[in-house]
Structure 1
């Protein structure tokens, strides 16, 4: 595995991006992976998206990123940058080589990128915790890679389909045990089980109502359209059902004796405040309640009062994901019509149970984070609330760079 000079290149890229000119059509997918040594390493996969029609029309420089091979790229400064102007005066143009775990070119399909994540699903089903997050400048294609449109699904929906395909027939459907705090679980009374069932039913009912409304809108648009032009997807389950048909399985050890109780949560960090995207109160036009972090007795950090919903199928998990997405903070900027204004995390927590639920052997979690993109106001022309959002986004990403640098320091320190 390529270490990208351990974490130094990653750290430099994260921090420098906030203050230097940088190409806007590359996004990162970062995930942990075990190396051949004794220490864990972070894998960083780079995906270079194709230029949009608008960027081509504006003569955006297309030679900033040059793919050398499957693990390396050469970055050159844009022609309009200060460094490029210096090179025109006789000073040599600055070019940097960066090494990644893998580099995906503009022609890469969603299913190919998902291939980097699929081994982690096997890990989480066999007892490990896993984290995947997307990083890049605004409009780099992070959310497309992460969630994708309904007709070309991204990492998250594909992960759900493979996960449930792998534990088909081994799902523990009873809600009498539930994740608690960071790595614990609690046993629920009969009354508490009914409350959990009611919450789940309410969220799924909200999705059903919105899905029916979107279907009616879709048919109305079809009736009014001429020439059969393609329409934007409105969130139908048809594409996901098709994805399930072709989903692969991963190996699960000891599955003959183990059943899996699967719970999901969905939250976002917006303007330095943490919100539950599955909070039913916010769907009723009530003010959203900000959550807070807490620590358990072992010092592990978790989100206090975050809602976890039990799911018994990939379809249920996908419906909850789609419903939560309606609550995400999204706005239009000059360079991105659907810009994520928050960092969101969809988590899948799995209780490994045996003896009919009498014994929980372990609790594992797979967290999938879609980070908001760093922004330069000279390009976005943000003002007011958008400018405040951008400042908070950039600050949090700067802190992320420092965190990664600390991880690197801890790895090389005695």
Structure 2
């Protein structure tokens, strides 16, 4: 029985993918959305100029520069959306290309940025009747892969940011196991009538929005996860913790009273160096409603709070991750390839950033203040990373980007390193109160679009022949049609579940009743004959079909045998090439292993040598430091010794200079005295010679008639027997005047037994100088004692004038120093303790010397010379006046 074959639908072939270059880069796409004013009569500070330009003008009374002038600024973006833009228009421009890349196995990142109350959450989630970007992305994904989804649990996460694939039998067993256990997240698609009325209208989106060029020879599965970054800690919003009656419940505003706080999660790096949240819950979803239901359950657990700027202010950064797993079908187009290397994963991250805010406007305190600080800190870290990336690209530097300073930037660092497209929507509120915050947001957004991200490389697809799914489906449809044309039942069986033989057996008509109750019955036997004849025809048709199928199957087997033989030969050649390649790679690996071992050995030697050198360097540095310290000490000792020797030399020079002056003065006096004595002797001699001599010799004078001998005192410092020149600044009567003195004598002073003692009348004696005593006096005297070079005590009287300062205090200006000291006489003489200066010992006079005229004359001359000395000369002789 022949029948015309229906034309089989040709398989749809995907256009060949162009190899992408890793050197190509795309800038970060930055879009701006302006929310409407509420209420509309508020002052506006933002004006949309055109589709890519907007202008900020400062409100009244706002000074923006140092000169106090108003300044208007303009900022350009990839596209600017005004207050009248719809969610659908925003989705078509921003999110739709990211969903298309997700279906084509490319990653994407979309986050909203702006100050608090600028409409970020509304842009991402939407409102009842007008869904946002997130539900529209989910709807587009499931509209595109709805007919090509794999059965539940065929794909299974491996907890390491990867995916495993299992056969349908294991997936069926796992489904039955999960159906028995209580479910936390619904595993079956939920109807819109049973959905929460709060968000049922948000996903009422047109179903015509989908990706056209979908690989129809692959199966897909969607996994979603929802996390939040709160106070720089990561929490899983889909984590379900069983209730514990002992532990307290977490009852906070905006949360369920029976909800237990989840544990924070950590970030890890997978084998492909991508960051992921370890232990994060990944839920497999099969419809838009089910995915949005999972999102809404996590949204209810997100941390929000009421502030003065926003009634429901987000206190954390939320990240909704959509992960798409796809794997190719086998050569027959029936089952999924069980090779993990053939699984392709792509990810779309939708980030709703918390708004930056100023605490002086929100008046935040306690936890709200700490939350605001952490939010601003994470946003500042994001800005720093963008600035460093921009500087590295523009200036050619290689600075390290501080991704690890915040969990937000650390989680998405792979996107900025070239793992997918990055898009940012800047939401701004045009009211005048947010002008300063909006200005900072605009500057950051304009700087962000200068950063370029490497274009991701296209991932290779399976090398099997395309159109496998359609060929298999066409074969099944043709088999069913042929059975129907040959009289088989329409609903005789499903070709996917039953064999062709079973379908044909079920097509036999049932035998009628063969019981003859009447001899004249002429209907039972004809009916039986007719049924048997029909069954015979069906049996013949089955035999013919069987023979035909056998021939066809034999031909197919021969063709298949040839194809298999060719494939085996081809595979054998490929295997041979692969074996050679593997052998060469193994040899290369062995060579590299040997090289690695050699280099490791050299590295160990170098490390040991470096350690030895470092120890020697440390020892030599210590020795050098010790020598430097020693040299410094020696240098300081040398300086002190030089200063001491210089002082001693100065003292000796002054001492010998004064001694020379004293000796010269003494010699001059001695010579002048001798000259006077000679003159006197000559005068007496002349008088004696001219005098008439008497007859009687003169009687020598008696002892009692002799003049008393007066001891002669030699004055060393006087150059002439005239009045001593007084120091112009020294007045002897100063201590006896009307001024009052402060006699400062330290308690450790030693009392000397000299004849001359310092005595100042009308003085206040103190042991420690005090401002009270200085305020009552005009003069100041300090008694200072020290040990001279000859071992005697030297007393110095340091004198000065007392003045009042401008601050109300007292100051002393030193003007004079008097010195009192004792010295031992030269050898052979007596020690005169009261002598203020070194004087030569006077020769002892005898009675015979007084009889000599020359002696008497010399003594008289000395007496006359010494009589010119005024009273108190000894005190002036011992005084050494000099300025301090």
Aligned with 1:120: secondary structure? helix
Partner of 1:3: none
Matched, 1:237 2:208: no
The structure 1 residue matched to 2:234, chosen from 243, 260, 274, is: 274
Partner of 1:263: 223
CA distance 1:199–1:325, change in 2 (3 Å): farther
Aligned with 2:64: secondary structure? helix
Partner of 1:401: 383
Matched, 1:329 2:292: no
Conserved 8 A contact 2:130-2:201: no
CA distance 1:395–1:236, change in 2 (3 Å): closer
Q: 1:353: how far off?
A: 1.1
Distance (Å, rounded) in 2 between the aligned partners of 1:274 and 1:374: 19
Partner of 2:76: 99
CA distance 1:45–1:200, change in 2 (3 Å): farther
Count of aligned positions: 347
Conserved 8 A contact 2:126-2:202: no
Instruction: Report the structure, 1 or 2, having the larger helix content.
Output: 2
Deviations, residues 364-396 of structure 1 (Å, cap 9, x unaligned): 001100000000112211111111111111100
Partner of 2:364: 382
Greater Cα shift, 323-332 or 399-408? 399-408
Partner of 2:57: 76
Q: How does 1:265-414 map to 2 (within 5 A)?
A: 265-281=225-241, 284-355=258-329, 356-357=335-336, 358-359=338-339, 360-412=342-394, 413=396
Distance (Å, rounded) in 2 between the aligned partners of 1:93 and 1:200: 65
Conserved 8 A contact 1:268-1:275: yes
Q: 1:198: how far off?
A: 7.6
CA distance 1:236–1:297, change in 2 (3 Å): closer
Partner of 2:132: 154
Partner of 1:6: none
Distance (Å, rounded) in 1 between the aligned partners of 2:220 and 2:110: 21
- TM (norm. structure 2) is 0.37
Q: 1:200: how far off?
A: 9.5
Deviations, residues 161-210 of structure 1 (Å, cap 9, x unaligned): 111111120111231322446652134766766677689942239x98xx
Greater Cα shift, 403-412 or 137-146? 403-412
Indicate the structure whose relative CO is greater, using CA pairs within 8 Å and at least 6 residues apart.
1
Larger Rg: 2
Q: What RMSD in Å do the two structures reach over aligned CA positions?
A: 3.0
Give structure 2 stretches of 5+ with no counterpart.
1-19, 243-255, 330-334, 398-884
Instruction: Report the structure, 1 or 2, having the larger strand content.
Output: 1
Deviations, residues 252-300 of structure 1 (Å, cap 9, x unaligned): 34x2211111100000011111111101118752231111111223432
Conserved 8 A contact 1:161-1:247: no
Give structure 1 stretches of 5+ with no counterpart.
1-33, 215-233
Aligned with 2:90: secondary structure? helix
Conserved 8 A contact 1:173-1:312: no
Distance (Å, rounded) in 1 between the aligned partners of 2:127 and 2:161: 33
CA distance 1:65–1:278, change in 2 (3 Å): same
CA distance 1:248–1:339, change in 2 (3 Å): same
Matched, 1:164 2:139: no
The structure 2 residue matched to 1:113, chosen from 78, 90, 99, is: 90
Distance (Å, rounded) in 2 between the aligned partners of 1:158 and 1:298: 30
Partner of 1:14: none
Deviations, residues 24-68 of structure 1 (Å, cap 9, x unaligned): xxxxxxxxxx9xx92121101100001112x74xx4x31x21211
Deviations, residues 130-167 of structure 1 (Å, cap 9, x unaligned): 01000000000000001011221110011111111111
Conserved 8 A contact 2:223-2:285: yes
- TM (norm. structure 1) is 0.76
Partner of 1:249: 210
Q: 1:247: how far off?
A: 4.4
Matched, 1:52 2:13: no
Aligned with 2:28: secondary structure? strand
Q: 1:406: how far off?
A: 3.1
Conserved 8 A contact 1:74-1:98: yes
Deviations, residues 99-139 of structure 1 (Å, cap 9, x unaligned): 10100011111111111211110111011100100000000
Conserved 8 A contact 1:263-1:348: yes
Conserved 8 A contact 2:161-2:276: no
Conserved 8 A contact 1:265-1:309: yes
Conserved 8 A contact 2:139-2:207: no
Partner of 1:27: none
CA distance 1:410–1:186, change in 2 (3 Å): farther
